[in-house]
Amino acid sequence: MHQTLEAIHQRVLDRNPGETEFHQAVHEVLESIGPAVDKHPEYAQARIVERICEPERQIIFRVPWEDDNGDIHINRGFRVEFNSALGPFKGGLRFHPSVMLGTVKFLGFEQVFKNALTGLPIGGGKGGSDFDPRGRSDREVMRFCQSFMTELYRHIGEYTDVPAGDMGVGSRELGFLFGQYKRITNRYESGVLTGKGLVYGGAQVRREATGYGCTYFVERVLRTRGDGFEGKDVVVSGSGNVALYTVEKVHQLGGRVVAVSDSSGVVHDPEGVDLELLKEIKEVRRERLDVYAEKIGHAEYAADRSIWDIPCQVALPSATQNELDADGAAALARNGCLVVGEGANMPTTPEAARVLHEGGVIFAPGKAANAGGVAASALEMQQNASRDSWSFEHSENRLREIMIDLHDRCHATAEEYGRPGDYVAGANIAGYSRVAEAMLALGLV
């Protein structure tokens, strides 16, 4: 690591003890922006990197709520407003029992660079709670969301901070959150949240955007090498929002998804995953994945197998952070995988990324490959501001253009800085440069 950045990195570790995922995300960025720091000494003088590593604001609050039996629960809510140099803070809310401040800071930090890469006017932030919506009734989820928003509403707004969904926060949760915001503020402020339902201000293609966008990005990676998805076997981890629409787009582009997973196990379907059945199980009935194998005779379900052992030419980790470890990466490389594209945020451990690099596997990091979700959110904000709504086809075309531009910007930046084909360096340097330029222009604020 560059000497100046090494010192900054050490200070981040000292000032944020125990936040290991945040440390990992900062390390990955600082490790690759050295050439940009050398090229722009004026940024170092203005202490841009130190400022980028410190959130503008961190909010932690109590979320009390009552379950269907009348028992009272206390969860913790978070919103980390990381950087607003390019626009209002923008980033999702995650409801998952593993959520703590370090998780939200890692996600918010990633979001700053990701949002910058889209070329759209959005800053970076993230939020969430250690609440687990799995197994809760709709009424319990509603009561939790109402309590969460009763505190969050004072910190957000269409020109301030615009949350969206993430793990555990889908259309049901966003509907309850928006309803409570509207009730408390007495304002129909559509642009305060994105990922909304189509009937109350949502946008076409937002639901599909992260999965579609990741697939478009990886398609562009393949096309750059004169290849495509046609005839390729693909493995997609997870079976939530990102994974489902990744499967859909891979199939539309001629690939075949042969495995998906959830937190309880892995399904291997060598004939290609039946997407309609998968959606019915995960989106409608909210069931576990073993039900898939009960319905499809030739598919195998295993609770304790690694999805990365299943041979494929493209792997798209789309579940959660650090799910692809060094052993998984070694198996992918051994089985002839050509590209790993991150649909999830930071699903690949640093060791796994090294193994992929040594094995000649192209690696597309999440802050570039999964930026389609936030890009579609920015399009939703545009439509809300102009009280307009675009067709599915128009929205999808815009998303595809954004992902192609984003790919090409990462690719060109990597070449410009002497790291051809290194999408990690390309994404980090391009994202950093845009944020740094705006921060310099805005003065010491």
Q: Which residues are catalytic?
A: 126
Single out the segment in contact with ligand NDP by CB under 6 A; choices: 15-23, 147-155, 315-323, 408-416: 315-323
What's the CA gap between 218 and 312, in Å, rounded? Answer: 14
List binders of ligand NDP among 22-81 (CB under 6 A).
none
CA angle at 41 for the pair 40 and 43, rounded to the nearest 5°: 75
List binders of ligand NDP among 142-181 (CB under 6 A).
165-168
Q: Which tokens in the block code for residue 406?
A: 């984003």
- Whichever of 126 and 143 has its CB closer to ligand NDP, that residue is 126
Closest by Cα among 108, 99, 103 to 132: 99
Residue whose token pair is 């999964």: 370
What's the CA gap between 90 and 81, in Å, rounded? Answer: 8
- Whichever of 241 and 413 has its CB closer to ligand NDP, that residue is 241
Classify strands 89-95 and 233-237 as parallel, antiparallel or unpaired: unpaired
Residue whose token pair is 């990365």: 308
Q: Which residue number places its CB atom closest to ligand NDP? A: 240
Single out the segment in contact with ligand NDP by CB under 6 A; choices: 35-43, 147-155, 312-320, 420-428: 312-320
Q: Using the rule CB under 6 A, is 239 a contact of ligand NDP?
A: yes
Closest by Cα among 252, 266, 360 to 306: 266
Alpha helices in 155-302 (DSSP H): 171-185, 206-224, 241-252, 275-279, 290-295
* CB 240 to ligand NDP: min, Å: 2
Among 190, 194, 215, 370, binds ligand NDP (CB under 6 A): 370
Q: Using the rule CB under 6 A, is 128 a contact of ligand NDP?
A: no
- Whichever of 8 and 352 has its CB closer to ligand NDP, that residue is 352
Contact track, ligand NDP, 340-359, x by CB under 6 A = ---xxx--------------
Q: Which tokens in the block code for residue 104?
A: 């939200």
- Whichever of 81 and 323 has its CB closer to ligand NDP, that residue is 323
Give the number of residues in contact with ligand NDP, rule: CB under 6 A. Answer: 25
* CB 230 to ligand NDP: min, Å: 26
Handedness of CA 405, 410, 416, 418 (dihedral sign): negative
Contact track, ligand NDP, 202-221, x by CB under 6 A = --------x-----------
* CB 38 to ligand NDP: min, Å: 31
Q: Are 113 and 125 in contact (CB under 8 A)?
A: no
Q: Using the rule CB under 6 A, is 365 a contact of ligand NDP?
A: no
Single out the segment in contact with ligand NDP by CB under 6 A; choices: 67-75, 178-186, 197-205, 232-240: 232-240
What's at 112, amino acid-wise? V
- Please give the full DSSP string across 96-111, using - where no structure is assigned: -TT--HHHHHHHHHHH
Residue whose token pair is 């192209």: 362
* CB 243 to ligand NDP: min, Å: 6
Q: Using the rule CB under 6 A, is 361 a contact of ligand NDP?
A: no
Please tell me what DSSP assigns to residue 267: E
Give the up-direction half-sphere exposure of residue 251: CA atoms within 13 A in the CB hemisphere: 16
Q: Which helix (H) or strand (E) holds 147?
A: helix 138-152
Among 238, 328, 426, 431, binds ligand NDP (CB under 6 A): 238
List binders of ligand NDP among 251-270 (CB under 6 A).
261-264
* CB 294 to ligand NDP: min, Å: 17
- Please give the full DSSP string across 56-89, using - where no structure is assigned: SEEEEEEEEEE-TTS-EEEEEEEEEEEE-SSSSE
Give the up-direction half-sphere exposure of residue 397: CA atoms within 13 A in the CB hemisphere: 5
Q: Which tokens in the block code for residue 130?
A: 């250690």
In degrees and rounded to multiples of 5, residue 42 shows phi and psi of -65, -30
- Whichever of 255 and 343 has its CB closer to ligand NDP, that residue is 343
Written in H, E and C, the secondary structure of 7-73 is HHHHHHHHHCCCCHHHHHHHHHHHHHCHHHHHHCHHHHHCCHHHHHCCCCEEEEEEEEEECCCCCEE
Q: Using the rule CB under 6 A, is 194 a contact of ligand NDP?
A: no
Q: Using the rule CB under 6 A, is 112 a contact of ligand NDP?
A: no
Q: Which tokens in the block code for residue 159?
A: 């020109």
Among 103, 115, 241, 313, binds ligand NDP (CB under 6 A): 241
Contact track, ligand NDP, 380-419, x by CB under 6 A = ----------------------------------------
- Whichever of 133 and 255 has its CB closer to ligand NDP, that residue is 133
Q: Using the rule CB under 6 A, is 246 a contact of ligand NDP?
A: no
Among 240, 341, 365, 426, binds ligand NDP (CB under 6 A): 240
Among 319, 339, 438, 439, binds ligand NDP (CB under 6 A): 319
Handedness of CA 420, 422, 424, 427 (dihedral sign): positive
Residues that bind ligand NDP (CB under 6 A): 165-168, 210, 237-243, 261-264, 318-320, 323, 343-345, 370, 373
